[in-house]
Amino acid sequence: MPELSPNPSPPTPTALMQLATGFWSFKSYAGAIEIGLFDLLADRRELTVEEVSAGLGIAHRPADLLLAGCASLGLLDKSGPHYRNSALAEEFLVKGRPYYFGGFVRYLDSREYPAWQHIVEALRTNRPTTWTPGAQESLFDTEDPETLQLFWDCMYSISTLTARTLPEVYDFTRHTRLLDVGGGAGAIPIELCRRFGHLSATVFDLPHVCDLARTKITEAQLNSRIDAMAGDFNRDPALPGGHDAIILSMILHDWDEESGRTLLRKARAALPADGAVLICELLLNDERTGPPDAALMGMNMLVETEGGKNYSAAEYRDWLLDAGFARVETLPVEAVGANGVVIGHVS
């Protein structure tokens, strides 16, 4: 007689509790950025609860709770009675650092977090909740300068971190001139041109975004190698020529499939025989069951866009081949804004 297996342990709601209270972590983290905690502790400064209370102008109790919360999240270290920024917070959460990530957090907190309160409305209506179609042309159309600044700050930080990872998997020495379509403030060209002295680049984006890019390019002292060209990649009949690599970083997930396919056809037409297009995204697996960062970014596209969603590498491969690219490869990367780069080679 076969041995009976012991009864499996019954499930517990621990994982559900962690999911349900995820906003506790986010709001503690966002609140610490907004109130200036990590700036107060910059340069590995060590302060007690009392000193943080005085420095932030808040009472002892909230200072004590905030410090404990941030330490539990790995954002602070503690030695005796003194707290200091963790290495992670020191590099990414202090204003003015080269790869400051706080702009992204502040954007989420001020714009997307309130919109997610209406996720059921978005599910039922298939309409975004961060902006109003009909009254606005797109999610990028806003007259609020603070919202615009937060958005482009957050995109710059994410794009810079993506650009740092790309040379680990892709050989940019084969190219001489890059076109960053929807390139925002120019983070990817700036980072790559700093890394590769032979490269030059063009940022192609809306006119007011090009103004931001020119400012960043000037600050980086790369005016002689990077320019900004105004245009609309959805409306313009063609992309600018004269480039042997086109980068689409966190662009295609903003649009529906037909818009994405059209843009890839434009990319193919603009590239020479030795050219390539690089699609940097949080890619879903082929079964569309994960990973969570890609799947939940797709949910975020529901509240942010009219037709956007996150796609799989297999879907992009089909689009690229249909657009006329001869060969497609997918390379894994580890970045906050991308877990892979899908490359379409002209030949």
Q: Is 228 exposed, middle or buried (0-12, 13-18, 19+ CB in 10 A)?
A: buried
Q: What is the pLDDT of residue 144?
A: 67
58: CB partners within 8 A, 6+ apart: 35, 66
- Tens digits of residue pLDDT in 256-301: 999 999 999 999 999 999 999 999 999 999 999 999 999 999 999 9
- Is 312 within 8 Å of 282 (Cβ atoms)? no
60: CB partners within 8 A, 6+ apart: 49, 50, 53
- Tens digits of residue pLDDT in 113-161: 999 999 999 999 999 998 888 777 666 665 567 777 777 777 888 899 8
User: Does residue 1 have a pLDDT over 70?
Assistant: no
- Tens digits of residue pLDDT in 175-200: 999 999 999 999 999 999 999 999 99
Q: What is the pLDDT of residue 148?
A: 72
- Is 340 within 8 Å of 331 (Cβ atoms)? yes
Q: Considering just the CA atoms, what is the radius of gyration of the chain in Å? A: 22
Q: What is the pLDDT of residue 19?
A: 94
Q: What is the pLDDT of residue 149?
A: 76
Token readout for 156 is: 């710059």
Which domains does the chain possess? 14-92 (1.10.10.10), 102-345 (3.40.50.150)
Q: What is the pLDDT of residue 190?
A: 97
> What span, in angstroms and rounded, lies between the C-alpha atoms of 186 and 116?
29
More confident residue, 233 or 157: 233
pLDDT band, residue 8 (cuts 50/70/90): confident
Token readout for 218 is: 């000037």
> What span, in angstroms and rounded, lies between the C-alpha atoms of 263 and 197?
29
- Tens digits of residue pLDDT in 64-99: 999 999 999 999 999 999 999 999 999 999 998 888
Helix, strand, coil shares of the chain, percent, nearest 5, are 50, 15, 35
Catalytic residue set: 253
Poorest-pLDDT segment among 7-11, 37-41, 150-154, 285-289: 150-154
- Is 47 within 8 Å of 71 (Cβ atoms)? no
User: pTM of the prediction?
Assistant: 0.91
Find tokens 């599910």 and name the residue.
Answer: 123
By residue count, the chain amounts to 347
- Tens digits of residue pLDDT in 196-213: 999 999 999 999 899 999
pLDDT band, residue 9 (cuts 50/70/90): confident
- Is 322 within 8 Å of 344 (Cβ atoms)? no
> What span, in angstroms and rounded, lies between the C-alpha atoms of 347 and 345?
5
Q: What is the pLDDT of residue 6?
A: 65
Provide the mean pLDDT of the chain.
94
